[in-house]
Amino acid sequence: MVEINDLKKLARDLYFNRNLEFDGVSGQDALRNAIKDALGGEYNVYSWQKHKYDVFQIISTAVDAVMPTLLTNQFDGIADIRTVALGDKPLFEVQDPRAIRVGRVAAGANDMRRQTITNKTFTIETEWFGAAVYAEFDQFMAGDIDWNALVDRVATAFVNHLQAKIAEALKLSYTMLGAKDKLEGKATLDALVSLAERIQVKSNAPVAIYGTKAALSKIAEMAGVNYFSGTMKDELNQNGYLNVVRGLKLIEIPQAFKVNSDDFALDDTKVLILPEGEKIIGVVVEGDSRTIEPENTTRNDLQMGFETQEKLGVSVLQMKVYGMAQVA
């Protein structure tokens, strides 16, 4: 029987390497063998009914191993992702962006205007979301179900859901920003540099520009491709955008699709200006996932199913210092 920690590593490694070998067999066979062991070594209706929740536990463990890694790979540059125990409410702390005022003290008096140094802390509410998957019973009886494909589909479904939520949060944050911290209408390069300088002064930290490949490519157009050196043109052709423009780093946020759609989730017309290392989105994955039998348990189409549920929350850390600009 595969141990829990070994199962987590197997699921995570198998997602990124389909040719993985584990204990002398392929990674896919290793996961299939773990499922078979949980079923008491038999593929039939009775073993499924008797041991299905042991299988569900394996599925939940595998999903929990894969999903945070996928999410971190996608949004680590802009999102503070917390995985916590069920019932825990992590505190997100935001430094007060106001500078400390230095006041003149009159001779013979101690009267000076003071500004309290404060930090803001808050929690993010979470709620349950579910993703259901079905498989043919005939495949199950023959031992032909591709279990790692099912696990990957569930993990990817949750990641897609969070990607869509993050995209919504970013869109909302643009409307909530003060007029001086955003550029509406198509920005010019001079205006973008000026905004970056403003955010750098406010945060007292170097800043970078974050966006999708399509969004960052618009900044190269602003800079005037005709004036680029041969090296810069090669860099643009290789990456789709320049790594640095007027001293500002450009960092790509990988694009994603909306759930059950081939439309992009992230806005290709806007970029973020963030202090390097700053994260303006908070994401909470609360507790282990739970896998149960779907409510429709009286199926007559010879299919078996499971529903995996995750408790998730997403929010914009609105007190953070950042800017946004429309580039198209």
Check if the beta carbon of residue 191 is closer than 8 Å to that of residue 246: no
Q: What number is the average pLDDT over the span 261-279? A: 90
Tell me the two tokens of residue 23: 């204990």
In the chain, the amino acid numbered 189 is: L
Q: What number is the average pLDDT over the span 6-15? A: 89
Using the predicted structure, report yes or no on whether residue 54 has a pLDDT greater than 90.
yes
Three-class SS of residue 7?
helix
Q: How far apart are CA 27 and CA 188, in angstroms?
A: 51
Using the predicted structure, report yes or no on whether residue 61 has a pLDDT greater than 90.
yes
Torsion of CA 68, 266, 233, 237, to 10 degrees: 70
| Secondary structure string (H, E, C) spanning 236-296 | HHHHCCCCEECCEEEEECCCCECCCCCCECCCCCEEEEEECCCCCEEEEEEEEEEEECCCC
Q: How far apart are CA 217 and CA 327, in angstroms?
A: 9
Q: For residue 129, what pLDDT is reported?
A: 92
pLDDT tens digit sequence for 203-256: 889 999 999 999 999 998 898 877 688 888 888 888 899 999 999 999 998 888
Q: For residue 174, what pLDDT is reported?
A: 86
In the chain, the amino acid numbered 77 is: G
Using the predicted structure, report yes or no on whether residue 133 has a pLDDT greater than 70.
yes
Using the predicted structure, report yes or no on whether residue 103 has a pLDDT greater than 80.
no
Residue matched to tokens 């929350």: 313
Using the predicted structure, report yes or no on whether residue 99 has a pLDDT greater than 60.
no
Q: What number is the average pLDDT over the span 45-74? A: 90
CA distances from 247 to 193, 206, 207, 208, 328 (A): 9, 10, 10, 9, 21
Q: What number is the average pLDDT over the span 6-25? A: 88
- As a whole number, the mean pLDDT across the chain is 85
Q: For residue 321, what pLDDT is reported?
A: 87
Q: For residue 98, what pLDDT is reported?
A: 57
Helices (H) and strands (E) in the chain, counts: 8, 14
Percentage of residues of the chain with pLDDT beyond 70:
89
CA distances from 245 to 220, 254, 327 (A): 8, 20, 14
Confidence of residue 70 (pLDDT cuts 50, 70, 90): confident
Closest to 166 (Cα-Cα) out of 76, 287, 282, 67: 282
Confidence of residue 167 (pLDDT cuts 50, 70, 90): confident
Q: How many CB atoms lie within 10 A of CB 310?
A: 26
Using the predicted structure, report yes or no on whether residue 259 has a pLDDT greater than 60.
yes
Confidence of residue 96 (pLDDT cuts 50, 70, 90): low
Tell me the two tokens of residue 129: 């979301």
Check if the beta carbon of residue 92 is closer than 8 Å to that of residue 124: yes
Tell me the two tokens of residue 287: 């507790």
Instruction: List Cβ neighbours of 135 (8 Å cut-off, separation of 6 or more).
Output: 145, 150, 303, 304, 305
Q: How many CB atoms lie within 10 A of CB 115?
A: 12
Q: For residue 149, what pLDDT is reported?
A: 87
Confidence of residue 55 (pLDDT cuts 50, 70, 90): very high
Using the predicted structure, report yes or no on whether residue 261 has a pLDDT greater than 70.
yes
